[in-house]
């Protein structure tokens, strides 16, 4: 099966107890589950409804604070309008940006499904723990870059996989049935090169930031 990101050839390996097939692209270090594992959005919602994301919980706020502490120093001060893409049921991250003087829209296909964001441009788009759920991450990445103003920033959080099949199978992150695609910083570098942006920072673990160079390349 061809890689969804770079169209290169993939190697396959299995999680034998669960008989899940994974496809591993060694060119761009992208791993994805067999499409037969992809769940309809109704089944995904049943799992997401179990998440206890209380905006008053100190641990939950600290989780987003760590993300903002990494991201905001790299995006500059000329940021007035942001989008939280795939925010889930809570809009806490959008609120925390608003508390810093940055107007922020919140979009989620299940809980906040308005597509008004598709008519706007943003100085900053953030997306935390979303990309591992996407059936078509390359298309979504391109769409988000297209929504940035020139020089705007896209910040993504998703766990980077160990890029080794044996280590991957002992890794906790793929065991969530709604987690179907997996990235490394290298994968995101390939996406950046395809879509007219530059990777400006990554933490080696789960966060990466891009700057749009100009108008999206066609």
* pLDDT for 128 beyond 70: yes
- The candidate with the shortest Cα–Cα distance to 67, out of 213, 203, 170, is 203
Look at residue 165 and tell me if it is in a domain. Answer: no
Beta-bridge partners for 20: 15
Q: Which pLDDT value is given to residue 25?
A: 98
Look at residue 31 and tell me if it is in a domain. Answer: no
Look at residue 33 and tell me if it is in a domain. Answer: no
pLDDT one-digit tens code per residue, 43-56: 777 777 666 677 77
Q: What is the mean pLDDT of the chain?
A: 93
CA 32 to chain centre: 14
Q: For the whole model, what pTM was predicted? A: 0.93
- CATH number, domain containing residue 118: 3.40.50.150
Number of domains observed in the structure of the chain? 1
Domain that holds residue 56: 41-160+178-212
Confidence of residue 217 (pLDDT cuts 50, 70, 90): very low
DSSP letters along 159-176, please? PBP-SSHHHHHT-SGGGS
Cα angle value 190/196/197 (rounded, 5°) = 75
Look at residue 20 and tell me if it is in a domain. Answer: no
CA-to-CA distance for 34 and 36, rounded, in angstroms? 5
CA-to-CA distance for 48 and 121, rounded, in angstroms? 28
pLDDT one-digit tens code per residue, 183-205: 999 999 999 999 999 999 999 99
Average pLDDT, integer, range 68-77: 95
pLDDT one-digit tens code per residue, 6-23: 999 999 999 887 789 999
Beta-bridge partners for 178: none
Look at residue 169 and tell me if it is in a domain. Answer: no
Look at residue 66 and tell me if it is in a domain. Answer: yes
Look at residue 156 and tell me if it is in a domain. Answer: yes
Look at residue 36 and tell me if it is in a domain. Answer: no
**Which is more confident, 141 or 52?**
141
What kind and span of H or E run contains 95?
helix 92-98
């Amino acid at each position: 099966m061809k890689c969804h990101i770079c169209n290169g050839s993939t190697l396959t390996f299995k999680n034998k107890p669960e008989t899940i097939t994974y496809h591993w692209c060694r060119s761009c270090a992208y791993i994805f589950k067999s499409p037969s594992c992809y769940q309809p959005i109704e089944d995904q919602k049943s799992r997401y409804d179990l998440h206890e994301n209380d905006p008053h919980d100190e641990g939950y706020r600290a989780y987003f604070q760590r993300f903002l502490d990494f991201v905001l120093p790299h995006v500059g001060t000329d940021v007035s309008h942001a989008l939280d893409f795939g925010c889930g049921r809570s809009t806490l991250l959008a609120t925390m940006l608003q508390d810093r003087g940055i107007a922020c829209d919140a979009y989620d296909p299940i809980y906040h499904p308005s597509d008004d964001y598709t008519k706007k441009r943003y100085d900053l788009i953030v997306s935390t723990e979303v990309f591992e759920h996407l059936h078509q991450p390359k298309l979504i990445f391109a769409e988000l870059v297209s929504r940035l103003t020139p020089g705007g920033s896209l910040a993504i959080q998703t766990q980077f996989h160990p890029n080794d099949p044996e280590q991957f199978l002992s890794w906790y992150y793929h065991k969530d049935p709604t987690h179907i695609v997996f990235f490394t910083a290298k994968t995101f570098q390939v996406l950046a090169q395809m879509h007219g942006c530059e990777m400006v920072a990554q933490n080696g673990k789960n966060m990466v930031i891009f700057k749009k160079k100009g108008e999206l390349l066609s």
